Chain A
Amino acid sequence: MKLTYADVTAGTEIPPVSYPVSRLSLIKYAGASGDFNVIHWNERIARSVGLPDVIAHGMFTMAQAGRFVTDWAGDFGTVLEFGVRFTAPVVVPDDDHGATIEVSGAVEEKLDDNRVVLTVTATSAGTKVLGRARAVVRLP
């Protein structure tokens, strides 16, 4: 499916998607990103610095929101801007389920030059984990 600028209407909601996150996700992400901050893999140290448990890398959460945006935009969409605030950590317990990041969004407005502004919302365990998440995408 090739989404085009003409297809898009401001105010349209984008259906939510759930993305799983496990301890293994965080270990893979640490290796792939080079961010080995101990709070993302060591429960003992995470708790000792006042966190409830191991937390996901903020950038892992942002990457899930990024997938949501690029999946919506399709292969011919280009991300021009993408920004988030990390409002709460995604807590990832050491069990068989891990955590889930729920991402939803909406088309906020259409700009000139085939640009579209998306607002994105992400929650985990009922808590908002990203704030002011916004992407500007150029569509064909």
Chain B
Amino acid sequence: MAVNKDYAGRTFPPGEPYEVSRVKIVEFADAIGDPSPLYRDREAARAAGHPDVIAPPTFAIVISMASARRVTTDPGLGLNYAMVVHGEQRFEYTRPIGAGDVLTATSTITDIKQAGSNTLLSSRTDIATVSGEHVCSAYSTLVERG
């Protein structure tokens, strides 16, 4: 068991803000195979009540993972990433992420525990605009297979 349990409870302050671009949203929507115009066409998004194109719900992982990566790759944590699989993921949204959003992400390791030979690392990442509006909270459990 190499994962350092002392990291439980640690909060990692936000890194550089993430600016959501329409190009990135389209790239993500294409990658998941979702042709919805809400992710591509500003007029379609406006007609549905959004200021600009929105991102698919799971796009939040791009921002939460970029933040959590600073945690999971911290050498002091000792996580062996090739042995890591995703255990659980949950999002709570205040509103959809949209093009033009400038977002910050704050990650906290909420729990590190042993389950048999596996180590479970749970984290929470709060995503907000730079002006402090909450957009999404992402709850993640990674499993380091033992």
Contact = CB atoms under 8 A, between A and B. Distances in A.
A binds B: yes
Nearest to A45: B82
Contact of B38 (A75, A84, A86): A75
Contacts, number: 111
A97 interface: no
For chain B, the bracket of interface size reads: 35 or more
Given A75-B44, A82-B90, A31 B82 contact: no
A3 interface: no
B89 A79 contact: no
For chain A, the bracket of interface size reads: 35 or more
Interface in A78-96: 78-86, 89
A64 B32 contact: yes
B85 A86 contact: yes
A58 B85 contact: yes
A67 to B, nearest CB: 5
Contacts of B57: 66, 69-70, 79, 82
B62 interface: yes
A93 B134 CA distance: 40
B89 A83 contact: yes
B45 to A, nearest CB: 9
Interface string B35-54: 01010000010011100000
